[in-house]
């Protein structure tokens, strides 16, 4: 693994740990439009960017996003609405990209599973609106990933 790839992986792990710790995920928005970028890995694929800290999001509010502002969503909303919806729309999660717009591009259900794994390792649970409990959410995510 190159140093660059190791840094990207570290940024991703920090994202997972911090969103579990704070219960919040940050994006950049303007008039209900969320900051997106083209994937550097997959042609014709969009990446929606999310950060674990307001300051990290704000640092990327430049150039075409200079009029965008950091906005937070709850971790439960991120998991059940964003990750599940992005999976259906074939979008990727850009987690904790730096101000050079370099960071990990991840499948949304993989991100969701990583978050649930981190929640379990810390003995935490979150309340879902569309699932009976965290275990049901996890089971459905695993089932969808195995079906691929």
The predicted structure's pLDDT at residue 118: 98
Is the four-CA dihedral 44, 8, 72, 138 of positive or negative sign? positive
Over residues 113-140, the mean pLDDT reads: 96
The predicted structure's pLDDT at residue 50: 98
Res. 1: pLDDT tops 60: no
> pLDDT per residue over 70-126, tens digit each?
999 999 999 999 999 999 999 999 999 998 888 999 999 999 999 999 999 999 999
| Contact between residue 55 and residue 66 where contact means Cβ atoms under 8 Å apart | no
Q: How many domains does the chain have?
A: 1
Domain of residue 56: give its range: 3-147
The predicted structure's pLDDT at residue 4: 76
pLDDT confidence tier of residue 2, bands split at 50, 70 and 90: low
Q: Of 51, 34, 112, whose CA–CA distance to 77 is shortest?
A: 112
pLDDT confidence tier of residue 51, bands split at 50, 70 and 90: very high
């Amino acid at each position: 693994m190159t140093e660059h790839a190791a840094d990207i992986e570290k940024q991703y792990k920090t994202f997972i740990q911090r969103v579990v710790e704070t219960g919040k995920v940050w994006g950049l928005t303007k008039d209900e439009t969320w900051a997106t970028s083209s994937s550097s890995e997959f042609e014709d694929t969009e990446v929606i960017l999310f950060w674990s800290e307001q300051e990290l999001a704000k640092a990327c509010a430049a150039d075409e996003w200079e009029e965008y502002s950091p906005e937070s969503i709850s971790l439960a909303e991120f998991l059940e609405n964003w990750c599940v919806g992005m999976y259906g729309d074939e979008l990727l999660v850009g987690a904790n990209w730096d101000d050079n717009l370099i960071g990990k591009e991840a499948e949304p259900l993989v991100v969701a599973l990583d978050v649930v794994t981190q929640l379990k390792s810390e003995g935490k649970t979150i309340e879902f609106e569309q699932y009976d409990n965290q275990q049901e959410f996890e089971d459905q995510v695993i089932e969808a990933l195995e079906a691929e």
